[in-house]
Amino acid sequence: MDGYITPMTGVIFSIFIAASVMITIYTCNFYYLAYLARSRKDKPDAVSDPGTPSVTIQLPIYNEKYVAKRLVDAICALDYPKEKMRIMILDDSDDETVTLLQEAASHYQKQGFNIEHVRRGTRNGYKAGALKHAMLTTDTELVAIFDADFIPPKWFLKKAIPHFVKPEIGLVQCRWGHINEDYSAITRAQALSLDFHFLIEQKAKSNSRLFMNFNGTAGIWRRNCIEDSGGWHTATLVEDLDLSYRAQMKNWKCVFLPDIVIDAELPMQMNAAKRQQFRWAKGSIQCATKLLTDIITHRRVAGEAKLQAFVQLTRHIVYPLMLIQFLALPILLASNANIYIVSFIPAITIALYLAMGPVAYLMIIRGMYHKSWVSKAATLPILLIYTAGISVNNTVAVCDAIFGKKNEFLRTPKYGILKKKNDWKENAYNLPFSQVTLLEIFFGVYGLIGVFIAITTNNALFAPIIGLQMVGFYFIAYMSISHTMFKRNKSKGHKPTKSELTANRIYKISMIGIIALIVFGGFIAYNGYNTDIYPLDRTRGHLDGIIASSDPVTIREHLTSAKEGIAVVMANDLIPEKTDANGMLVSKNPVWVFDTPTTNFVRMDADIDNMLVMIDEISAAPRDSAAYHTGMLDINESSEALKYHIGEAIPFMYISITNIIFSIMWITAILLIFTALKRKRESIKRNEDLESRI
C-alpha cells in the first residue's frame, strides 16, 4: 500500500484483501475438484444385471402446461415392464395444467399403465411437500424423480438401475443435457455453468468419501435410503441437497453417471434464470445453517469430506464477496492505494488475474470437451459476464438466507420451445423484472465511475476488471427489463384489449424513464467527480511531483497548480463551511459530522501559501547551504502531510450530503416507476382473473 494511507482507506483495503483471499480459496478448491475429476474414470465400475426391481416414478408438477404432457409421454415410453413401474403425477397446479394431466393420466391408464394423477389439495411444503406426501403410499424398491422440463430417453431405467447392484448405493444421479442450449447467449452460458458442476464437481465427488448432492431431478433413489435418512424436509428451498447430505451422513453412497444424459430445457427468460439462481443460492445457505454443525461434529465423516461440505454449502458467499471487491476497488484506486500483487511490475497483477481465471477455465474446458472444446470456449466470455451480473441477485439470496427471511418456493417457468425461430414472449408464466434490477443498474453506474477512476488515476490495468463486472450488471439489468412482458398468452388473431394496450404504453414510458434516469445519473456522477474529486486527485499528483523534485522553480509550479486545485473544490457552495465572529471563512470541511481540522480545505489552502513563501526563501539560499537542504526537507514533509490529509478528505467528498440526497432522490424515482409497473401488473391480473370467471 501507499506510505500514507488514511485509516478509512486502510479498513477498506483490509476488507478488499480479505474478500480477495476468500474468493481465491473457493476458486482454488474448484481447481482441486477439477484435478480429482480428471483423475477419476469416465465411467463407474462395471455393474451386473439386477433384474427388474419395482420403481415408482414421481413427477412433481406445478403450472407447467407447456411441458407437462411431454414429460408424461416420455415416461410412458420408457422401455421397462409396466407391471414393475408405477407413475405418480404429483400435480399441485391451479391452471389448465390440471386438465391436461388428467386427460394424459386417463389416456395411459386405458393402455394398462399404473399411473395416478395425485392432487393433495394444498401446496404446503411446495415440491418437498408433494414428494413427502407421495412417499406415504410408495412401496417400490426404487424411486425416480423428474421435473416437468426433462425428457428421459426410452432406455433410461435399463441403463441406470444396474448401478444399484451394491446395497450401500442410495442414489444414482444422471447428467443433465441441454436440449435448447443454442437458443441464446443466456442458455449457452447456463449450459456451460451446469456442465462445470456435473463434469467437475459431481464427477469428483461421486462414490467417494466426499459428499455429492442430488440435483432434484434426473435421478433414482433407493426407497430405503430416503426413509432411513428422515425423508423429505420442507425447511429449505433445496430439499434435494438437504436429503442427499443427510443420506451420506447415514453412510449411503451417491453415484454420478456422466454417460447417462437426460435432456432438459434451460430457462430462456432472464427473470426465470435469476429466480432459479436465487433459489439455489438461498437454499444452499439454508442447508449450511441446517446441516453444517452436524456434519462437522459427525465422527464418521472424513476430514476432507467435512471441508468440501463446508465449501459446497457456503460457496454462494462468493457473490457478496465479489460485490465487496467491486465496491472497494475504485475507492482504493482513487485513494492511490497500491493494490498490485507485485508493486514494481503492475502487469504481473493482471497476468495472475488471467491465470487464476480465464486461462485456468480454458484448460478445464479443454479437458472436459476434448475435440469440441473450442466451440465451448467461445461461450466462456458470456459466462463470465453472466456470472458477474448475476452476483447482485445471488447476494440478495444469500442475505435473505443469513437473516432468515422466509420465501415461497417459486418454480422456474418453462415453455417447451426448443428452436431459435420460436418465441416465448407471448406465453403464459412470463416473469416481470424485480427490485433487484434497480440494484443491478446502480452497480452498473458505479462500475462506469470505477472505470473512469481507474483510467484517471493511472491504474488503467484495472479498468478491464471493473469493466467486465460493469458490463455484466448492465447485461443482466437490460435483459431483465427487455424480457418483461405484460401481455397475456394470446392465440392467433387475438386483438389486444384496452388494458393490454394501456399496460404496454405504460411499460414503454417507464422504460424510457428508467433509461433517462440512468443517463442522468451517469452524467451527474461524472460531473460530480470532475468538479469535486478530480481536482483533489490532480492536487495529490502535484504534491507527488514536489516530493520527487529538488528544483525550486518546478516545486513552485506544482504548488501553484495545487493551490488552484484546492480553490476549485473550495468554490463548491455545497461543502459545509464555518465563519468566525467577523464573518471570515475559517472552515470548509467535507466531513459534515464530527469534522476534523486535517480535512479543512481552508487550512490546506493556508498550508500551500506557507509552502509558497517557504520555497521563495529557499530559492534565495545557496544550494549547498544547510538552510537550503533543511528547507527542502520541510517542503517535502509538508507535501507528504498535505497529500495524506487530502486522502482523508476524498472519501467524504463521495458521501457528501448532496450526494446522499441525490442518491435518495434517484433511487426513489426508480422505485416509483417500479411501483407503478407493479400496480399495473396487479390490475391486469385482477382483470384476467375476473374474465376467467365469467
- What amino acid positions are annotated as catalytic residues? 92, 240
Contact 128, 202 (CB under 8 A): no
Phi, psi of 145 (to 5 degrees): -130, 135
Phi, psi of 255 (to 5 degrees): -120, 135
Residues 181, 186, 188, 189, CA torsion sign: negative
The number of C-alpha atoms within 13 Å of 208 and in the hemisphere containing its C-beta is: 24
Cβ neighbors of 195 (< 8 A, separation 6 or more) are 368, 376
Residues 313, 316, 320, 326, CA torsion sign: positive
Count of residues in the chain: 694
In the DSSP assignment, the letter for residue 590 is S
Give dist(CA 207, CA 203) in Å, integer. 9
- The residues facing 150 across adjacent strands are 264
Give dist(CA 542, CA 354) in Å, integer. 34
322, three cell numbers: 465479489
Amino acid at 379: T
Give dist(CA 425, CA 184) in Å, integer. 14
In the DSSP assignment, the letter for residue 174 is E
Give dist(CA 80, CA 422) in Å, integer. 34
Phi, psi of 112 (to 5 degrees): 95, 10
Give dist(CA 402, CA 665) in Å, integer. 29
